[in-house]
Structure 1
Amino acid sequence: MRATGGKREAFRRYQSDVYLFSRDVIGIPLYAYQTRVAQYIMDAVEQRRNEIVTLEMPRQSGKNQLSAVAQTAMLARHGRQNVQLIVAAPTYKPQVINSKMRFELMAKRIERRLPFLRYKPSMGYIYKCHQAAVLFFSADPSSSVVGATASLGMMLDECQDLDRGKVEKDFFPMRASVGGSPILAFGTTWDETTMLSRFKRDILEGRSRGKVFRVTPEEVALSNPAYGDFVDSEVRRLGRDHPFVKTQYFLEELPTAGRMLTPQQLELMVGAHPRQTKRASEPLIVAGLDFAGADEQAGELVSMATASARDSVALTVGAVTWVRVADGIMLPSIRVLNRYEWVNVNPVTLHNQLYEILWGRWKVNLVCCDATGIGATGTALLAKAINRDGQPERVKAITFDSAWNKHTDAAFGYLSAINNGHFKDYAPAGFDPLDMAGRELPPKDDPHQHVWWQRGQARLEAKPSRRVRMYVPEDAGHDDLLYADGLLVLAAQMVGQPQTMSGASVDFYRREVGGNALPEPARSDEEIERMLG
């Protein structure tokens, strides 16, 4: 179907204004902060500017929506030209698949309102609008990328997770034959080593030409008050200093050096309750057990969680209650009751002693055990002795993998509990825990003091894909008690969880707040027909 003269004239107006395109053609108007970025991108592509544009936006604030609008608008604007837009994402599944699905959703909305525009799929990764095309590629290091030319531009989605070597080797040459075209780097904040962060620094420090866009949660909340409520609930749930909150919502990079816990956080952990030697009337008892094993050849201890040659076997026991922090949000509150540490002992030989402590003294509801490497044997023995058929699992195996999935769960859970004041240690006996945390050398043969030293020495290491691990530097000392704390928190999150809990969410494109319509609603189909008629 060909456009009439009147429709062509109206369509040209939409081609030059991405906000009008989103509002009247797609039917989902961009917010002001999205429009500012999208219009700059459209102009940079139109002028074939050889520059880098970085965009950092908080989680769930419409970055993916902006990307899909920009992609469809670019093809509509340049449909008479034989040009290509390259879109790269860290993985094919789910990220490339999700990008294609969002593109198709926008394309179908456009085709319903402007039938003379057709976005035709080809070969499973290409969509063409007349002569212009968008190509979706996976930038996974193992992927095979076919030849293409980024004559319109190159969009790097979730840039903070991209492999720099892969992008420089396989994707950047796609811009060479056209004399340069814009690089559009979208993502969320993580740490200073990511490609997104390096692009941003290159622009700000004058090494590259371009523009840095940073959208704060406060800006998003001005356009969509529901988003502000959502972020507030996440802060209440996790704490303002939680790494996920700092990076994903407030766009603050994680430091690659420095202590994991501040003096304020350490102070939050100091409790007033006494240390106990056995279970009393507590409704729920949980524990974290960090295994280490004696290396038969080297004669040293090897930590399963951190691959460190300095660790021992550590056990932390605590009581759990669930507290409501907001409507629909309940979190575990932990009181540490006791801890134990064994140095240079093969964990298998500790089985009888561990069984007597966990079951004989504490009747533990759940213990999370480091089941990596030799820890698997000790965990299996405890599970066989304590778990019972037809009853809830009391011994849970936790495997620390090279992808840092469980490392991240343990670290994030630990920090969340601390930040909310929901991790309280028993009252220190005869020492100042904050002074102990700042000492240069660790105390010997006293786990109750040693744990505070490890907390004071703890660092947080980040890597792409939003994964972290907590650790004590190699030249400092042990981190076994630190990981026993983290495993204790994992156990607390798994046991006795109220059935009424519900996760927080936000309908980002909800057009009403408190019964009041937000400004700039989408035009009706009838209005569009009149404008294009």
Structure 2
Amino acid sequence: TRVFWGTAWTSKTLLAREMRAARKAEMRDGIRRVFKLDADEVAEEVPAYGNYVAEQVAKLGRNHPMVKTQYYSEEIDAEGGMFPLARMAMMQGNHLPSNAPKDDSLYALLVDVAGEDEGVGDDGDIDSLVNRRRDSTAVTVVEVDLLTLDDELINAPTYRVVQRHEWVGIKHTKLYGKIKALFEHWKASYIVVDATGVGTGLYSFLDSALPGSVIPYVFTSKSKSDLGWGFLAVIETGRYKEYKGSGDEDREAARIQKVFWMQVENCQSRVLDGPGKLMRWGVPDGTRDVGTGNLVHDDMLISAAMCWVLDDETWGMAKSMVIDAVDPLQDLEF
């Protein structure tokens, strides 16, 4: 007798294959071999576990892969599109893009850094590039809504995208000036910046100029996997929202937003076997827009995903005021 137990995760794991074989055997002889429980059934016997699962669902979302597999014994596809239509619909907000900060609002910048190209003009003009296959440096400006911090189960902000920028091949010394100017324009609280490889220099420039406001993110297989899982949690809990088109945006803003959604549609993910459940995700190399034939990258998507890093920061708004002191001599008689 052999006993297999655990979480199936995907249809390609050993446990999932053995479950299918056991079910076929059940159909032949009627002897039950598969015993499958989900969180709701366990919660009937252990209410405390049900409360714990409810907390995880609130933090990650019911359709987050971790929740579906770990708590509800549902298999997920090991490979496939990372953003199905239902998830993309959850990303769409009702707010409009903006070019300036609002009073009493908080903002942050999310920066995915590309390499620089000596063949590009100082303005980052894409048409002047010799190598058109390069990624761009993408900046996502998000408004940070603290209302969801009041939810004891979620306890994290909501992020609304209000503006995007991209520069291709621009020298990092000039890129530093542009990003610093954006930070000051939006009165941003934080910048999350890709500090991997060539991004290290840009991070150092910004950190020296804006101490305490710059958060480095170094990409490795593990950290990119964490970012992917974290971004899905932000989306599935309704805390990430893209701006909607108003028809009044300038042509460049409309173009950038179209490119972003193209990257979302073409993003693929793969969950690796093993206890770490590392997820490889991104737009596959060589992917092209079927309409234009242009290469599709994932720089804007990765920039957007970096909002998850902000979940670990301390948020709040403070106002200064003068409190009139009581005159200590006013009640004394002389």
TM range (shorter): 0.7 to 0.9
Q: Which residue of 2 aligns with 1:311?
A: 135
For 1:357, what is the secondary structure of its paired residue?
A: helix
Aligned-residue offset at 1:384: 1.1
- Provide, for residues 473-520 of structure 1, a one-character-per-residue CA deviation record: whole Å limited to 9, x for no partner: 22321100100111123225424179xxxxxxxxxxxxxxxxxxxxxx
Q: CA RMSD in A?
A: 3.0
Q: Which residue of 2 aligns with 1:148?
A: none
| 2:95/2:243 contact within 8 Å kept | yes
- Over 3 Å counting, the alpha-carbon distance change for 1:332 and 1:469 in structure 2 is farther
| 2:107/2:188 contact within 8 Å kept | yes
Which of 230, 233, 238 pairs up with 1:413? Answer: 230
- Over 3 Å counting, the alpha-carbon distance change for 1:211 and 1:311 in structure 2 is farther
- Over 3 Å counting, the alpha-carbon distance change for 1:267 and 1:326 in structure 2 is same
Q: Which residue of 2 aligns with 1:383?
A: 207
- Give the distance between the partners of 1:492 and 1:326, measured in 2 at CA: 14
Per the normalisation by structure 1, the TM-score is 0.49
Aligned-residue offset at 1:369: 0.9
Higher relative contact order (CA 8 A, sep 6+): 2
Which is richer in strand? 1
Q: Which residue of 2 aligns with 1:285?
A: 107
| 1:287/1:487 contact within 8 Å kept | no
Matches within 5 A, 1:91-130: none
| 1:287/1:317 contact within 8 Å kept | yes
Which of 250, 263, 276 pairs up with 1:454? Answer: 263
Which of 390, 400, 403 pairs up with 2:219? Answer: 400
Per the normalisation by structure 2, the TM-score is 0.76
Q: Is residue 2:194 matched to residue 1:370? A: yes
- Over 3 Å counting, the alpha-carbon distance change for 1:381 and 1:249 in structure 2 is same
State the AA in 1 paired with 2:3: V
> 5+ unaligned residues in a row in structure 1: which ranges?
1-48, 57-187, 302-308, 388-392, 432-442, 499-533
Q: Is residue 2:305 matched to residue 1:496? A: no
Matches within 5 A, 1:166-245: 188-201=7-20, 203-204=22-23, 211-245=33-67
Aligned-residue offset at 1:461: 2.0
- Over 3 Å counting, the alpha-carbon distance change for 1:272 and 1:349 in structure 2 is same
| 1:369/1:397 contact within 8 Å kept | yes
Aligned-residue offset at 1:313: 0.6
Higher-Rg structure is 1
| 1:192/1:254 contact within 8 Å kept | yes
- Provide, for residues 152-186 of structure 1, a one-character-per-residue CA deviation record: whole Å limited to 9, x for no partner: xxxxxxxxxxxxxxxxxxxxxxxxxxxxxxxxxxx
- Over 3 Å counting, the alpha-carbon distance change for 1:488 and 1:328 in structure 2 is closer
Q: Is residue 2:12 matched to residue 1:55? A: no
| 1:261/1:456 contact within 8 Å kept | yes
- Over 3 Å counting, the alpha-carbon distance change for 1:282 and 1:254 in structure 2 is farther
- Give the distance between the partners of 2:150 and 2:38, measured in 1 at CA: 25
- Over 3 Å counting, the alpha-carbon distance change for 1:344 and 1:295 in structure 2 is closer
- Give the distance between the partners of 2:165 and 2:279, measured in 1 at CA: 26
- Over 3 Å counting, the alpha-carbon distance change for 1:413 and 1:383 in structure 2 is same
| 2:55/2:153 contact within 8 Å kept | no
Q: Is residue 2:75 matched to residue 1:264? A: no
Aligned-residue offset at 1:259: 1.8
Q: Which residue of 1 aligns with 2:327?
A: none
Which of 328, 337, 341 pairs up with 2:162? Answer: 337
Q: Which residue of 1 aligns with 2:283?
A: 472
- Give the distance between the partners of 1:334 and 1:493, measured in 2 at CA: 14
Aligned-residue offset at 1:249: 1.1
| 1:366/1:495 contact within 8 Å kept | no
| 2:37/2:72 contact within 8 Å kept | no
| 1:316/1:336 contact within 8 Å kept | yes
- Provide, for residues 167-219 of structure 1, a one-character-per-residue CA deviation record: whole Å limited to 9, x for no partner: xxxxxxxxxxxxxxxxxxxxx2333444444444555567xxx9544322122
Which of 178, 183, 189 pairs up with 1:353? Answer: 178
Q: Which residue of 1 aligns with 2:293?
A: none
Q: Which residue of 1 aligns with 2:68?
A: 246
